[in-house]
Structure 1
Amino acid sequence: MSGDLFGPIFVPDAFREAVSGRAWLQAMLDAEGALAVAGARAGLIPPEDAETIARLCDADLFDPGKIGHRGRPAGNPVPALVRALTEEVSKASEAAARHVHRGATSQDITDTAAMLVSRRTLDLILAEVDGIAGACARLAREHRDTPMAGRTLLQQALPTTFGLKAAGWLVSVLDARRRLREVRASGLAVQLGGAAGTLASLGDAGLPVLREFALELGLPEPPLPWHTDRTRVSGIGEALSLLAGVLGKVSHDVVLMAQTEVGEVAEPSGEGRGSSSTLPHKRNPILSVTAAANARRVQDLARTLGAAMVQEHERAAGAWHAEWEALSDALALAGGAAANVREATEGLEVHPGRMRENLDRTGGMLLAENVTTLATHKLGRLEAHDLVEAACRRALEEGRHLREELLQDERIREALSKEEIDAALDPAGYLGSAGTFVDRALKLYRAEGSP
């Protein structure tokens, strides 16, 4: 595993720590402590014993590496953790030690820990997504009427505005945020079913313990154990994959617009950022590059989580085990992508002058559709189309501006005056409903609440 070398390049420390071995260990211990408290509230465990167990559920008392190595024979870390916790509790109270892990199975603790780790990391991700939404809203508002070339199949098509492009980013970010919020609010739940999902070892106290377990952890109580119903874990993966796709799109746009030959935007600069080991002049859009890399990996990991939904009877033989690191990595990489896109969009340098230069690169042909539309009123659509198409062809062949060819065509001059041709070739006059679309995106942003 090469996480120490490559990990920091893609994932900030806060996200690495949120899904670290220690974070998972503390989440498992939080589950064990909550289970003891729940047992006490249900009358199964003396309150003082539950308090002793909960007090010692502290990750600082244990070594994640040792727990992991000792968990290898069992195929998961919980048996080793339970043994270590029991030994620690027994130092304080032999009576309390007898109640450690009472009524639970290894998957109960691991799955509940997964929900806790996911909740904490989703909170971090959502904070970054809020920042991205705010940055996109600002860009859309400030550049509502900034014309630029709209590109289809990487070729200039028609004029649009940078505000509309940023508004497109904004709406997709809001869609992804909405899904993440849904998962955070209602897609998580505690896991407690015992060995085969019946809580038989807890007798009549099973349901009260489950209820108190959920209350203690602040997670929803599921209608029944979900040991082999992996919709929750897969749902987290799906929400992260959606976010990854959105962030990948934004990153890709920034990379393309930051190309030397395009030069319409630039990422925020910083010491050493975007530098090359051999080319001192380079300013690579590295925030977007690494965010795009993260996005691809998140989507692959989400597929792993989706594939793990097919499980055997009441306990999976391998599919459950495939989730742990895939979920951790998906959360961390999605967080890394979000952090980078937030930094890129909040500090994005926009160059309206270069956008205008690029609009003029086609010598007016970007507005050929507009000329055709206006000429249609007097010439009919087919004749107008043919005349303008012929003028475009001559302009290309002779390296001239479309305006010159249009002015030299008698039939077009009969249909359009010089002033009308000039107006038709002005990108700012052929933006359609771009401004209104921007306004609608900003209204949606305000309606959904800004941080």
Structure 2
Amino acid sequence: MTPGDDVGLLAPVRAGAAAEASTGDAALLQAMLDAEAALTRAQAALGLAPAEAADAVAAAARAERYDVRDLALRARAGGNPVIPLIADLTAEAGPDAAPYVHRGATSQDIVDTALMLTAARTLPGVLVDLERTAAALAALAARHRDTPMAARTLTQHAVPTTFGLKAAGWRSLVLDAHDRLSALRLPAQLGGAAGTLAAFGDHGIALAAAFAAETGLAEPTLPWHTLRTPVADLAAALAFACGALGKLAADVLVLSRTELGEVAEGSGGTSSAMPHKANPVRATLIAAAARQSPALAAVLLGSLVAEDERPAGAWHAEWQTLRELLRLAGGAAREAAELAEGLRVFPYRMRAQLDLTDGLIVSERIAAALAPHVGAARAKALVAAAAQRAAAEAVGLADALADDPALAGLLSTARLTELADPTGYTGAAPALADRALRRAPHAADSQERP
């Protein structure tokens, strides 16, 4: 291991994920080399460079030929890694190709294009994992369409719902994330020293189009050295994906608490001190990613405020930030797919929680049934008083209401018992789950991923 190797010791959410490999130093270096090779090929295609030069640069553009650590150290002199890389690539390509290496470009053209290439190579794996997650959640939602459970608001029992609706809601967020990521347009960057393409003479606009085609990225309307929409859009979509998966994780963390036990991860994690534990590790890692991503996205959105035609600091702040956000989204998506595919659901525990308050969870339903007899306000007050008596005397809500002389003759004991059954008050939850499951993921953008 060399100094500076990033093996993810403190980042288990992305350790071993496809996103880790596609965003590693070697992968980023290869993306920069691919951008340089694409630039020479594009110039050769327009007759601005010999085909032999393009071939020589392409042959030299292999990351394993270069020392990443040495490039990083030498990057300090000019503030970015492209400057020392050009020197090394020029030497590798040979004297005949040397005049055509990086010709007319600026360092930001290469780094921006490389980062877009990195994103384009990372996102397909993220999308696949989001699709896996959505498919697993769809199966859970369909299977538990009618499985009643307690809905909770502000941490307390609210009214009954179904686990199918909850799972359908998780899936809806996952599909929202998938749609945002699949709709991203990732452009190449070519503008030259100040975004005017002046170094390319009359061929600037044509060369920018040819360069984009060679990279497989979208052709930008304008050089975007300080027009950072592509980075901001990518940041927002990645942070949204982490947050959407974070909602799934947050609910799993609550529902898998020992005292609830309504769900459990397929294979929980161990504890270093307590042998009995099966920790919800996947949900924990997703939650950690979701907590980090907003701050990273804020840095990237802040870089929209970039002065002049090329900025100092704003651009440089993006590099590591964008890489980490890609890694977090990739790792969280992988963990979410495994979590959803292995999630265990315990309907008997959900029913036990529903019965915990002995009818209080359906107080809304009983008040609605009484309203035609005594008015809505009076009905609410009567049920509230009965609820207080039920809690104080440890009796069911139906019993407390049946003993209330103010309600004599309004609702029979049998009717009160029926109304107090929480499984009969899930409303449109099953139909809403069905409706949500009719939604399919949007197809990925037709832009070919390089």
TM-score range, shorter chain: over 0.9
**Aligned match of 2:314:** 319
Give, in whole Å, the separation in 2 of the partners of 1:66 and 1:278. 43
Q: Which residue of 1 aligns with 2:386?
A: 391
Q: Which residue of 2 aligns with 1:154?
A: 155
| C-alpha distance in 2 between matches for 1:110 and 1:324 | 9
Per-residue deviation, 1:449: 6.6
Q: Distance in 2 between matches of 1:55 and 1:233?
A: 30
Which amino acid is 2:32 matched to? M
Counterpart of 2:237? Answer: 239
Asked if the contact 2:383/2:401 (under 8 Å) is kept, the reply is yes
Residue 410 of structure 2 is aligned to residue 412 of structure 1: no
| Residue 365 of structure 1: aligned partner | 360
- Number of the residue aligned with 1:218: 216
Residue 277 of structure 2 corresponds to 282
Greater Cα shift, 378-387 or 421-430: 378-387
TM-score, normalised on structure 2?
0.95
Question: Helix, strand or coil for the counterpart of 2:97?
Answer: helix
Q: RMSD of the TM alignment (CA)? A: 1.5
What is the CA-CA distance between 1:411 and the residue it aligns to? 3.8
* Match status 1:266 vs 2:270: no
Contact 1:86/1:100 (<8 A) preserved = yes
Distance 1:237 1:166 in 2: 26
For residues 26 and 102 of structure 1, what CA distance do their matches in structure 2 show?
A: 19
Partner residue in 1 for 2:336: 341
The worse-fitting range, judged by mean Cα deviation, of 11-20 and 311-320 is 11-20
**Offset at 1:385?**
2.1
Deviations 1:147-181 (A, max 9, x none): 00000000001000011111111111111111111
| Residue from 203, 223, 227 that aligns with 1:205 | 203
CA 1:312 to 1:381, structure 2 compared with 1: closer, same or farther past 3 Å? Answer: closer
Q: Distance in 2 between matches of 1:154 and 1:417?
A: 33
Q: Report if the CA contact (8 A) 2:59-2:93 is conserved.
A: no
Alignment partner, residue 298 of structure 1: 293
Give the corresponding residue for 1:176: 177
Q: Within 2, Cα distance between the matches of 1:7 and 1:333?
A: 12
Aligned-residue offset at 1:378: 2.2
Partner of 1:31: 35
Residues 1:6 and 2:9 aligned together: yes
Distance in 1, Cα, partners of 2:414 & 2:10: 60
Query: Residue 226 of structure 2 contacts residue 308 of structure 2 at CA under 8 Å; is this kept in 1?
Result: yes
Q: Which amino acid aligns with 2:86?
A: V
Identity %: 47
**Helix, strand or coil for the counterpart of 1:260?**
coil
Q: 1:208 to 1:381 in 2, by over 3 A?
A: closer
Map 1:41-80 onto structure 2 (within 5 A). Answer: 41-80=45-84
TM-score, structure 1 as length reference: 0.95
Residues 276-313 of structure 1: CA deviation (Å, up to 9, x unaligned): 11111111111111111111111111001011111120
How many equivalent pairs are there?
440
* Greater displacement, 280-289 / 204-213: 204-213
Q: Structure 1: how far apart are the matches of 2:225 and 2:10? A: 31
List alignment gaps of at least 5 residues for structure 2: 445-450
Kept in 2: contact 1:104–1:195 (CA 8 A): yes
More moved, 311-320 vs 4-13: 4-13
- In the alignment, the residues of structure 2 paired with residue 111 and residue 322 of structure 1 have an alpha-carbon distance, to the nearest angstrom, of 12
CA contact (8 A) 1:160 1:431 kept: yes
Query: What's the offset of the Cα at 1:448?
Result: 4.1
SS at match of 1:345: helix
* Matched position secondary structure for 1:72: helix
Q: Is the 8 A contact 1:197 1:314 kept in 2?
A: yes
Q: Which residue does the alignment assign to 1:425?
A: 420
| Deviation sequence 1:250-270 (CA, Å, 0-9, x none) | 10000000000110000111x
Gaps of 5+ in 1: none
| Alpha-carbon distance in structure 2 between the residues aligned to 1:434 and 1:393 | 28
Alpha carbons 1:379, 1:415 under 8 Å: kept: no
Q: Deviations over 1:237-258 (max 9, x none)?
A: 1111111111111100000000
Is the 8 Å Cα contact of residues 148 and 159 (structure 1) preserved in structure 2?
A: yes
